[in-house]
Amino acid sequence: MLTGELRSQVDGIWNDFWSGGLANPLQVIEQITYLIFIKRLDEMQEVEERKATTLDTPLERRIFPDGKDERGEPYENLRWSRFKNFEPREMFRIIDEHVFPFLRTLNGQGSAYAGHMRDARFQMPSPALLAKVVDKLDKLEMGDRDTKGDVYEYMLSKIASAGQNGQFRTPRHIIAAMVELTKPTPTDVICDPAVGTCGFLVSAGEYLRKHHPGLFRDEKLRRHFHEGLFNGFDFDPTMLRIGAMNMALHGVEGANVAYRDSLAEDHTEDAGRYSLVLANPPFAARWITKRPRRICSASSRPRRPSCCSSRCSCGCSRSAVAPR
């Protein structure tokens, strides 16, 4: 649950972007997402370094290499804990000329989110704005998983209040109701073919943590939760980055959030792969040609079913479609 102080800190970061000349809400959340990811990479390496020191063993996983990059900048300077103390113009230079080129070379190292960084673009308009945002993000208390997820969800809620961009955000209460109706299980393989910010996948994950906490004591189920249970597709690279970060901040590092045009491509190879589909598809497109064969008990005789249960074209056993 977000405190008033945390909300105020997030609002302050958002206002800094607007006053600094970056008004597009999707651009704002994307730039914040980049910075959160950069900070997370440094935190992950710090964990590995502390573990190696405690156990007196070599570093098992190194995200930032030793030495210098191809432009001669020490990789050490690319770490959040280092450049956050730089003078604003030097910080701007380091991030623009060195950190972002480094992120594009990660190719999935660090988390599933890293795989979407190939076309990442640094769009901060000034060193002064960057210094303000880095300072405020550094002071933002996001220690535990719940707080990280809540803070990012609050940031994403600002997209919904930004005019037509709200199309990416299904209301949280509708998502929660659909997840409660479909009752995901730890052995499910869930898919959202129009994933957006991963709201359905996040909600399904939180449902499983609440109703099946024992799954994390089973090695096979725990691995499935992090690497095979959640699948989401979209054709907007920005939404893929935002969605992948949303999953990571909710404690799912290996979710399969990938580029795919679910309406235009043939997906016969996916038949039978997913046991549950949760989605808010783009109903403006003419892709739903048949009435669902069976309507779930949530509404017995609706003219426009708010939730349907049927075997969809991908062969899944359960599906739920959000209302428009």
| Cα separations in angstroms, 237 against 40, 265, 304 | 20, 17, 32
Residue 204: pLDDT over 80: yes
What tokens appear for 85 in the block? 């103390």
Q: Looking at residue 271, what is its pLDDT?
A: 80
Residue (of 195, 218, 183) closest to 280 by Cα position: 195
For 5-63, how does the pLDDT look when each residue is reduced to its tens digit (9 = 90+)? Answer: 888 998 999 999 999 988 888 889 889 988 988 998 898 889 889 989 998 888 877 88
Distance in angstroms (rounded) separating the CA atoms of residues 271 and 92: 48
Lowest mean pLDDT: which of 35-49, 81-95, 182-196?
Answer: 35-49
Instruction: Kindly compute the dihedral angle of the four CA atoms of residues 119, 124, 125, 129, in this order, to the nearest 10 degrees.
Output: 180
User: Residue 232: phi, psi to the nearest 5?
Assistant: -145, 145
Give which of 62, 73, 114, 67 is closest to 96, Cα–Cα: 73
Using alpha carbons, list the distances in angstroms from residue 265 to 235, 259, 261, 274, 308.
11, 11, 6, 17, 23
AA letter at 251: G
Q: Using an 8 Å Cβ cutoff, are 94 and 77 in contact?
A: yes
What CA–CA distance (Å, rounded) separates 244 from 265?
Answer: 22
The count of residues in the chain is: 324
Q: What are phi and psi of 231, to 5 degrees?
A: -135, 130
Mean pLDDT of the chain: 81
Which 3 state secondary structure label does DSSP give 190? strand
Q: What burial class does residue 19 get, using C-beta atoms within 10 Å of its C-beta: 0-12 exposed, 13-18 middle, 19+ buried?
A: exposed
CA-based nearest residue to 117, from 136, 129, 134, 99: 99
Residue 303 banded pLDDT, cuts 50, 70, 90: very low
In single-letter form, the type of residue at position 134 comes to V
Contact by Cβ (8 Å): 59, 49:
yes
SS (H, E, C) 247-289: HHHCCCCCCEEEECCCCCCCCHHHCCCCCEEEECCCCCCCCCC
Sketch out the chain's domains with CATH numbers.
4-145 (1.20.1260), 170-321 (3.40.50.150)
Choose among 31, 24, 36, 71: nearest CA to 250: 36
Q: What is the pTM of this model?
A: 0.73
User: Residue 136 is encoded by which pair of tokens?
Assistant: 């405020």
pLDDT digits (tens, 9 = 90+) for 150-167: 888 888 888 765 544 444
Q: pLDDT-derived band of residue 1, with 50, 70 and 90 as boundaries? A: low
Checking if the pLDDT of 314 tops 70, the result is no
Can you point out the beta strands (E) in the chain?
Answer: 190-192, 230-234, 256-259, 276-279, 318-321
CA–CA dist 268, 2 (Å, integer): 43
* Burial bucket for residue 185 (CB in 10 Å: 0-12, 13-18, 19+): middle
